[in-house]
Structure 1
Amino acid sequence: MRIGKEKVSRIRLAPVLLAFSLAAGSVFLVPSAYALSELHKIPGQAAGEAPPQGNAQGQNQPQGTTPGVPMADPLVNSQNGQGVDKTPGAQDASKPVEVIYDISKAPEPVRKMRQQIVEAAASGDLERLRPLIGTGSDQTQVTVGEATDDPISTLKDLSGDPDGNEILAIMLDIMSTGFVHVGQGTAEDMYVWPYFAEKDLKSLTPPERVELLRIVTAGDLADMQEFGGYNFYRLGITPDGKWKFFTAGD
């Protein structure tokens, strides 16, 4: 399932957690490793993906979707919990967040971009993401702060392996979860994966915890709960199909 996740988990969580601890007046240390993702069901060759039909209550996966990436048959279908103001356009933390699993409820440009990202990531070739990332002011944000000159090179550097396969696996894991629609009617209108970015992690149900633990380790989750929210990778797509960001942190 998850090869050496405790050994190679959380290297990129450490700076965020350390900064939070210093602000609170006490320093705590976290292991210097990064969480690996599961690719045991993901083929090396991309396959076509069709928008799912029906609801998220255990219906079969639509024919033509990429194997190993749940579409209309998720582990969890919950709309409980509170939002966490962690992403652009994040919902009011006092309001319940609606978790969406049916990708057909997203606009067609969002569905198309998601499918292209999934297919590129499943191929194992990081360069297949380049046409989707864009350039200039439309370039996908892959680091917090200023844009990088070469986002593909940056993603490769962030990966725990020289070919960037780990970062692609993380991307697939994230996009296999439910998602949320935040910032409706504002300039930050966005569809965000995973939905944990907008959830109170201390209120997760057991099935939701299992789904999150497909992405991070139990140690990561404990650190996130202490930190106050999800701070691993998240991905955002605008309603018009622009891939806005793929970043880690709060």
Structure 2
Amino acid sequence: MLRTAIALVLMVCAGALPAAAKTVKTDTILVAPAVTNPGAASIPDEDLPDASGAGNGDVEESLPVIEEDLQPITQSPNAPTEVPQVFYGTSSLPPLVARMHDQLMDAAKSGDMEKLRMVLESNEVPPTLSLTETGDPIEFLKSVSGDQDGLEVLAILADTLDAGFIHVDEGTPQEMYIWPYFARYPFSALTKEQKVEMYRLITATDFAEMEAYGVWLFYRVGIGKDGTLHYFVAGE
């Protein structure tokens, strides 16, 4: 009997026989139904934040904002604000100014850089052709031209002199006649017709860059009231 009792105990522990049922005390939990808003949009599960507070659609997952990138482009202090009177042709020019204009135009249309050299050398002072050192003026103009003969620069000079011009600083030592008038004209005041004139000299991409800074950055010609060529230059 003792041996039989021990065997039965071992079988129960090993799971061969069902053990006596064990009563577990349980509590009934009532879950209140979720209150829904029929007009509210449902949020996909993947957009819900996880335990760390960040989800797949979390805004904080985006690239950091660099403060420098938010800085607006500072316009040049030289940006024009007043709308000047625009002139066309040469009939209103003083004789000496008209003479220099015509000499430059003839040299440009000839396609001969040496003719332009003659005009430059006859000038009272060496005109400004660059904001940096240039050396020989004709060789410099050839070096910045799209072709090796400087014909592109001559074409730009002719188109510039053919545009409308303005008369600035009248009655002062800085009195000047400037081509094209866009060099001293506020961009915000340009009409569509004027922009068509402008696009004969530059591209829309060029203008977008200039507009950001508020100043004309392409070629311009400045002739003093005594007929002296002061500059044929690009840049600010």
TM-score per shorter chain, which class? Answer: 0.5 to 0.7
1:200 aligns with 2:162: no
Change (3 A) 1:85 1:227: closer
Provide the residue aligned with 1:155 in structure 2. 141
- How far does the alpha carbon of each residue in 1:71-120 deviate from its partner, in whole angstroms, 9 at most, with x for none? xxxxxxxxxxxxx946xxxxxx4532111114211100111111111110
TM-score, normalised to structure 2's length? Answer: 0.64
- Helix, strand or coil: the match of 2:147? coil
Verify the 8 A CA contact 2:179 2:221 in the aligned structure 1.
Answer: yes
Provide the residue aligned with 2:90 in structure 1. 103
Structure 1 residue runs without a partner (length 5+): 1-24, 28-83, 87-92
Provide the residue aligned with 1:168 in structure 2. 154
Separation in 1, partners of 2:171, 2:157: 27
* Alignment partner of 1:123 out of 101, 106, 110: 110
- How far does the alpha carbon of each residue in 1:132-188 deviate from its partner, in whole angstroms, 9 at most, with x for none? 113797011101145x33111111111010000000011111111110111212221
Rg bigger for which structure? 2
Separation in 1, partners of 2:132, 2:231: 11
Q: What is the CA distance between 1:26 and its match in structure 2?
A: 5.5
Change (3 A) 1:135 1:172: closer
Structure 2 residue runs without a partner (length 5+): 1-67, 71-76
Provide the residue aligned with 1:134 in structure 2. 121
Separation in 1, partners of 2:216, 2:210: 6
Separation in 2, partners of 1:199, 1:123: 30
- Helix, strand or coil: the match of 1:128? helix
Letter in 1 for 2:186: D
Pairwise mapping of residues 1-250 of structure 1 onto structure 2 (< 5 A)? Answer: 85=78, 93-134=80-121, 138-146=125-133, 148-250=134-236
Q: What is the CA distance between 1:202 and its match in structure 2?
A: 2.6
Which structure has greater helix proportion? 2
Find runs of 4+ consecutive structure 1 residues off by over 3 angstroms. Answer: none
The CA RMSD measured in Å over matched residues stands at 2.1
- Helix, strand or coil: the match of 1:104? coil
Verify the 8 A CA contact 2:176 2:225 in the aligned structure 1.
Answer: yes
Verify the 8 A CA contact 1:85 1:198 in the aligned structure 2.
Answer: no
